Structure 1
Amino acid sequence: MKNVLSFLLGGSIGFLAVLYFIFYPEPWSLRSALVIAASLLVGIVLSILLHECGHLFSGLTQGMHLLNLSVGPFVIERHEGKYHFHVVQSVLGYLGRVMMVFPERLDEKIMRQKLIRYIYGGPMTNIVLGTLSLILAFTALNYPFFLIFALVNLFLGVMNLKPVMAGSVMTDGMVIQKLKSDNPADYAVLLTGYALLLEELTTKDVKQWSPALIENLENLISVGDDPKSRVYLQTLGYRYLPNEPAKISMLAEPVAFKNEVQKSDYYSDITNITYATALFFGNEITDYPEIESHLQKISKLDKIIDLKRNALLSYVHGDITQSIQYLRDARNALGVWHPLYSRGEMEKRLIDCMIDAAENTHS
């Protein structure tokens, strides 16, 4: 059914484009080709921006606060009441993203309803604007840009409503499907993520976070109903490492190093690097069976994870100096702001602890 709908969407877009040029023929020339190419480029960028702004304004109507909004490498971040602009390469392949948070704890049912409206805001903005632009293209404003802008918006809006995974990222449609589900296991990870963002607004010191939230993270990982829950191993690593590596090892061991071949999977990467870091702090990494092979299967999706993997490989090989350099490179790569770590305070503290441990080994 999904393939049929995609075929119908593509066919409809093609039919509208052909129909437009039948009604309003354009003399083909280099100039007209350049105009169409420029219109397509501007239309795509503008459509992505409007999609994210649709999420933003829908979120504001639901009482949410903006954390950051990005289109390609361009990021607007709200930090300590001020807005900051960054140019940072996106991660995980998304072209645009907006992150928002509820300023207070909400009842689960109410939060789900508000999040559904917030998520719908992006694709519905594209669909509404695309429809209006299409009407204008066939009536008052017979200019190719409005047709192209309309078709790009309709494509982006409809495709985002399909409940699928785009690499390691869920489409809006999949998020909505999970939030509407009657099975708590489908939306538990999503709701916990917003609870985590709220806790992070209170303090960046994860060791001071609510014990109930930490217990919830541990339960989600232990149950394992949703592979995306493994991303919370990273948060728990910030809480328990370097002093309590056994707790991380206990949570991560059942799911770590299970990928038989190297592949791009962010959730597996998080699991594997967190487990390997726990082994490092527990002085077990050099004795772990086939550790080199396991580390080499971690993908290069995220530069920070890749550098930490290289640091641990160098440590296993006995090259402590190179290991420390990789860790310093990872800390520097976090910069002022990172798409997956935001300001990265907790990750920087963890990397500093790894550097100290490696230096103690070296001395």
Structure 2
Amino acid sequence: MKILKSPIMVFSFICIILISISISPLNIAEASENILWLAICLFLTLLIHELGHMIGGILTGSSLLQLTVGPFVVQRNHSWRLRMGFNNQWSHIGGITMLQIDSRNEKFSQKTIATFLGGPLASFIFSMFIFADGEFLYYLGVFNLFIFVVTIVPYNFSGLFSDGFVIIKFLTKDTSFITYHKMSKILVAPEQAVQWDCSLLEESASIDPNTLSASKLPLYMMFLFYGTVAVGDKRYLRKFIHRIKTNELEKINKVYRINVMHFYLASQFILGEELTFDENDFKEGPTIDVVSKLRTMSILEQVKGKQINNTKTYVDYIKKNHTNRYAFWNAEKVFVKQYLSQHA
């Protein structure tokens, strides 16, 4: 389940289990009541943490784009107004806060640090309830202390990193990570907020792709591909992919490798170059990204002059999906319109 990819949720559920065991209720009714209160504690703890991120960002001049906690989400609609609804993305169930921070702003690093520090700081402040009277406040304090520890400790598990890890990277001015973070912000920004930054495209293309970790390389490929489609300038993408040693890709994790190959092939297609990979290279790969697989099969289909069943399926899928409003999805639609619509 995607929910297990969130360390906050994993540790929080472990915390619930441990606390429940320690309580040792005498009957089912009492047990149900305890679980209910613990669930409320968990929700409030996640809400406090995400509100901390939001306040940290707003105090530095950023605008809230989305705040998700458990089943609830507050986000801006097409009229740029905040609306509350239900969260339908399991990957966000543990809580996520998205703010608009212009990557070209000279105080981008300070704003980002304040945003990521706000969550753990709020959790730490409310962890003081551990010294308060009352069982509910005590467990609210325990939960907040737990969340503070697991988010402030720097760690990075295959691209899944804590607030503390991000803060350390920005404080030490890790250029590749800061660029990585800027790219991530643009890719998932709403269409109304997106600002494809040519200077960031140039900066991304200047980094040696062979020095990037397996988790970073796919995002660089993704950003440069979508950025090229969005702005129409192919120089940066060409500069980047021409330095990738494709024979070295076999050494990285299969999931990351296939992801890179999808965008590498799509990049060669829009650059008008001979394709390095064919159908056989993707046969044994995991189907994690349905859109990339459809895109790849469509490109291979057209280059080889075969029937366009895959292309029609891909184009129809893009046209019918109206729920995804992220910048990268808008760029995907531009790609379809410019390169594939005439074939569908």
The alignment status of 1:277 with 2:266, answered yes or no, reads yes
Instruction: Give the Å deviation of 1:54.
Output: 1.0
TM-score of the aligned structures, taking structure 1 as reference length? 0.71
Equivalences for residues 128-277 of structure 1 within 5 A: 128-132=125-129, 134-136=130-132, 139=133, 141-142=134-135, 145-191=136-182, 206=196, 209=197, 211-220=198-207, 222=209, 224-225=211-212, 228=216, 230-241=218-229, 248=237, 250-252=239-241, 254=244, 258-259=249-250, 263-265=254-256, 268=257, 270-277=259-266
- What residue is the counterpart of 2:291 in the other structure? 304
- What residue is the counterpart of 2:3 in the other structure? none
- What residue is the counterpart of 2:279 in the other structure? 292
- What residue is the counterpart of 1:5 in the other structure? none
Instruction: Give the Å deviation of 1:163.
Output: 1.4
Corresponding residue SS for 1:76: strand
- What residue is the counterpart of 2:81 in the other structure? 82
- 1: CA distance, partners of 2:246 / 2:284: 11
CA RMSD of aligned residues (A): 4.1
- 1: CA distance, partners of 2:97 / 2:64: 8
> Contact 1:75–1:88 at 8 Å: present in 2 too?
yes
> Contact 1:39–1:149 at 8 Å: present in 2 too?
no
1:129 counterpart letter in structure 2: F
> Contact 2:69–2:94 at 8 Å: present in 1 too?
yes
> Contact 1:298–1:309 at 8 Å: present in 2 too?
no
Measured against aligned partners, the alpha-carbon deviations of 1:97-141 in whole angstroms (never above 9, x if no partner) come to 11112368433xx43233222211112222222331x223xx2x2
Q: Which runs of 5+ in 2 are unaligned?
A: 1-10
- What residue is the counterpart of 1:124 in the other structure? 121
Q: Which runs of 5+ in 1 are unaligned?
A: 1-8
The alignment status of 1:53 with 2:51, answered yes or no, reads yes
1:135 counterpart letter in structure 2: F
Measured against aligned partners, the alpha-carbon deviations of 1:189-233 in whole angstroms (never above 9, x if no partner) come to 3356568889976766x5xx5x43331221136574565265243
TM-score of the aligned structures, taking structure 2 as reference length? 0.74
- The percentage of aligned residue pairs carrying the same residue is 19
Q: 1:238 to 1:114 in 2, by over 3 A?
A: closer
Q: 1:231 to 1:298 in 2, by over 3 A?
A: farther
- Looking at CA atoms only, which structure, 1 or 2, has the larger radius of gyration? 1
> Contact 1:76–1:84 at 8 Å: present in 2 too?
yes
Count of residue pairs the alignment pairs up: 325
1:295 counterpart letter in structure 2: F
Equivalences for residues 20-59 of structure 1 within 5 A: 28-59=26-57
Corresponding residue SS for 2:61: coil
Corresponding residue SS for 2:323: coil
- 2: CA distance, partners of 1:281 / 1:102: 30
Instruction: Give the Å deviation of 1:165.
Output: 2.2
Instruction: Give the Å deviation of 1:45.
Output: 2.9
